[in-house]
Structure 1
Amino acid sequence: MEQEIDAVVRQRIRGLRLAKGWTLDSLAARCYLSSSTLSRIETGHRRVALDQLVPIARALGTTLDQLVEPANDEDVVIRPEPHTEAGMTFWNLSRDQTPGNVTVAKVRLTGEHTVDPNSLRVHPGREWFTVISGTIRLYLGERVILVPPGQAAEFSTMVPHGMSAVDGPAEIVSIFDHDGERAHLPG
């Protein structure tokens, strides 16, 4: 297990360095290690020590926790269960404890789901969605905006808002912050 984590850490260091377009010398200068030490760490010819990991992680713009977390990919597939309520079906596409405490959901709106423009809701945060199929009628304050397939919308949820499908079902993928999840998704 320990050797597996070492291998993952080495791959992450090299991967992050290359993603930034840095040479070994560039990273070495940023974390105050020699490029030969970094090379031996990346290739597995030297064990990486905790006092080396902290400056490496900092230089690469990540945290020590992220750098050393186990590569647990036992079940990477999310099997969402649909929840239907008032002409809307929700599929939660993210797990609990996602980075940034956001929830990703697929939402299908049918013609049964209607919006009363006089009863639009507000809550703290921001919402983002992209239309997968159909067209969405977005009520945003006094405005009514049509959002066709392939387009996206982002807005402050402190503006009174609601949405419905236009001329038949529509599907979106939406990202909610914690407050948005509580306000929009069935429990």
Structure 2
Amino acid sequence: MEQESADLDQLIRQRIRSLRLARGWTLDALATRCHISPSNLSRIETGRRRIALDQLVPIARALDTTIDALVESGDDQDVVIRPQPCNTPGYTTWLLSRERSLNGVSIAKMRITNEHPVGAAALPVHPGHEWFTVLSGTARLQLGERTIIINEGNAAEFSTMTPHAISAHDGPVEILTILDHNGERAHLRGGTSS
């Protein structure tokens, strides 16, 4: 436990120094912005002085970051995502981003085996934009009355105010998709296809 605390302490110090250097600031420049003496800031960065919470607040503010970002753990748990498959008839989805990550967008991998085009009257509509790229196979994108074939390696981006659906074309297709909040709610939580 003590070693973990020391490792996190060192990681915080590295983050402070790295953010300072990334901005091209000297110790004096950061010290002026956070109202800490340059010698105390130097001791904080080098580990010769304990980091106190009342020092982290102005340092984080001066570096235009948050205390959470400075003190988050450096272990693999906050990096590695182990997606679990979510199965619905004709679709398997793996959520590849954490909830509410990346400014409100979700990233998902989908394996689509459903090859039955949806009638234009049944195509869903919701506010927002969607993007996907085909990892393997061929996708059929229905946008209103249009049917667009998207081959492996190609991508599509479209307004979701247009009635739309994605299905497989000539065998299973795997896609990587980015959905905004409305798209996530409609397609991942609602259990329907794009």
Compute the TM-score of the two structures, normalised by the length of structure 1: 0.77
Instruction: Name the residue aligned to 1:166.
Output: 169
Instruction: Report the secondary structure of 2:170's partner residue.
Output: strand
Instruction: Name the residue aligned to 1:31.
Output: 34
Instruction: Name the residue aligned to 1:136.
Output: 139
Q: From the superposition, tell whether residues 75 and 59 of structure 1 become closer, same or farther in structure 2 (CA, over 3 Å).
A: closer
Instruction: Report the secondary structure of 1:168's partner residue.
Output: coil
Equivalents in 1 of 2:28, 2:40: separation in Å? Answer: 10
Q: From the superposition, tell whether residues 170 and 70 of structure 1 become closer, same or farther in structure 2 (CA, over 3 Å).
A: same
Instruction: Name the residue aligned to 2:59.
Output: 56
Structure 2 portions without partners, runs of 5+: none
Moved beyond 6 Å, runs of 4+: none
How big is the shift at 1:44? 1.0
Does structure 1 retain, via aligned residues, the 8 Å contact 2:100–2:106?
no
Structure 1 counterpart of 2:166, which letter? M
2:46 matches 1:40: no
2:87 matches 1:84: yes
How big is the shift at 1:47? 2.0
How big is the shift at 1:111? 4.8
Equivalents in 1 of 2:41, 2:154: separation in Å? Answer: 44
Pairwise CA RMSD: 3.0
Compute the TM-score of the two structures, normalised by the length of structure 2: 0.75
Q: How many residues align?
A: 187
Structure 1 portions without partners, runs of 5+: none
Q: From the superposition, tell whether residues 62 and 156 of structure 1 become closer, same or farther in structure 2 (CA, over 3 Å).
A: farther
Does structure 2 retain, via aligned residues, the 8 Å contact 1:136–1:147?
yes
